[in-house]
Structure 1
């Protein structure tokens, strides 16, 4: 899917005697190794051969495409398992080497590119807004192996200092966390609360054995979230944020529930909810 974290793979192919029982010390032939690294960033893999004396590169990336470059970069069509194979000559001898690559779900969202245009490609996890949407005009989510992404549009301006509450059932388990009438169908383990666009949010974990007790302990977790691009136009604020899955408890699972509520900067008025308060929170399926 998780921008995304790089993984390194090393291959080694050794050629020895064809029949082990017939090999003898006096006719031993030194093995011929073909070594290469693979660096994976999202769906893009960069292949770097480490063995010296290699010629005649023939790459089969395992998805129907090929290359004869010495150091190719290839973007796979989507998540899945692929078996790239290199056939080449090492010191005059033909060698073949393969490995298995697993490409996780990726996201088109780039949090620091000063644009929100990439969200146009996110069409699956769009929150159905209801009668209590208030200032919210659009809210949607995406994710990869490392992050959860959120996009929102709302009437108003950044300087309003709207207070946001993010209720998160991080482990998708109603037997843990707060049972609240604000949003049903979840036990809310994490609360992010604050003036996200002007001052940031604080992070709280539910800390009571009583699930009806609104009791949250503040956490100090560096780099747990990042606010990306914020745009204002024609009385509408559009913004994005990213939550690090590995930083907050429970977010590395296959699904979570989340709901968003906005309140006026002086706490006097609830400005809107996504989805409607009093109903179920939004389930973000992260099983891909």
Structure 2
């Protein structure tokens, strides 16, 4: 959460060797500077005027919308640079003050809201091929704190499908596991387990030999969370989020993903997204 201050500078001039003192009311100059604080949480900005003696509030939020409230809360339409301006009367004098806000990338996805409808506008998705198996759709979205994953697959939650999420967290093929399973990546992180019934374990690749399937299990709390899960007509739909600040490398500008599903007894691979032997999915997070 970020806090900004908008203000007009007051300058004091001290004349050497001269002291001026007066207690007469006639010498009092009412305050006419105008200041306000802005607290930003995602795309929501909350404004609070800190100057006393203010009235007639007229806010221009810099995105074509306005308000006359004293302490408005405003949701910006998306990432970008905005210049909110307050015009108000300070002790009877009209004064104006502005600041610059930069709103970061936000996501429409909300975990645990008991709906998957918020994924309707998300377009980042893996192109599934002949080896998709049980997978019908895989989507991704992100914001400054999380990567969001949406999955749709044939079957039941109770099947206990084992998921393998191969993640090239730093988008660098020179680090992590190099495997023919998914090309164009060096996979630093592996999330593996029965995601929808028992959760997944977290592993980091720990060998200087990039061809060695060598991963060390990690103990990292709150690294991921499963959100809404819907099951209907032989199809399971689910969402999860991965905390970018919890797993190494995920705070960068891009990451690669490859996902496989395996039967609960490890007897057969049920699907792959994208196809085995093809390039992993690159999630561009440079915004």
Check 1:92–1:216 CA distance in 2 against 1; reply closer, same or farther (3 A cut): same
- How far the C-alpha of 1:31 sits from its partner, in A, is 5.7
Could you say which residue in structure 2 is the equivalent of 1:86? 86
Q: Provide the TM-score with structure 2 as the length reference.
A: 0.92
Could you say which residue in structure 2 is the equivalent of 1:112? 112
- How far the C-alpha of 1:12 sits from its partner, in A, is 3.0
Residues 117-136 of structure 1, C-alpha deviations (whole Å, 9 max, x = no match): 1111112x111100100000
Could you say which residue in structure 1 is the equivalent of 2:181? 182
Could you say which residue in structure 1 is the equivalent of 2:68? 68
Residues 193-218 of structure 1, C-alpha deviations (whole Å, 9 max, x = no match): 00000010010111111111111111
Contact 2:157 2:236 in 1 (8 A): yes
Check 1:29–1:239 CA distance in 2 against 1; reply closer, same or farther (3 A cut): same
Could you say which residue in structure 2 is the equivalent of 1:146? 145
**SS state at 1:126 partner:** coil
Give the 5 Å matches for 1:2-151: 6-16=1-11, 26=20, 32-123=32-123, 125-151=124-150
Could you say which residue in structure 2 is the equivalent of 1:203? 202
The alignment of Structure 1 onto Structure 2 pairs a total of residues equal to: 280
Give the 4+ runs in structure 1 shifted more than 3 A. Answer: 14-17, 20-33
Residues 267-286 of structure 1, C-alpha deviations (whole Å, 9 max, x = no match): 11000000011111100011
Residues 20-62 of structure 1, C-alpha deviations (whole Å, 9 max, x = no match): 6999863895865433221222222121212222111111211
**SS state at 2:182 partner:** coil
Contact 2:134 2:155 in 1 (8 A): yes
Gaps of 5+ in 1: 1-5
Worse-superposed segment, 99-108 or 82-91 = 82-91
Residues 57-100 of structure 1, C-alpha deviations (whole Å, 9 max, x = no match): 11121122222111112222221111111122222333322111
Q: Aligned Cα RMSD in Å?
A: 2.0
Give the whole-Å Cα distance in 2 for the aligned partners of 1:281 and 1:94. Answer: 58
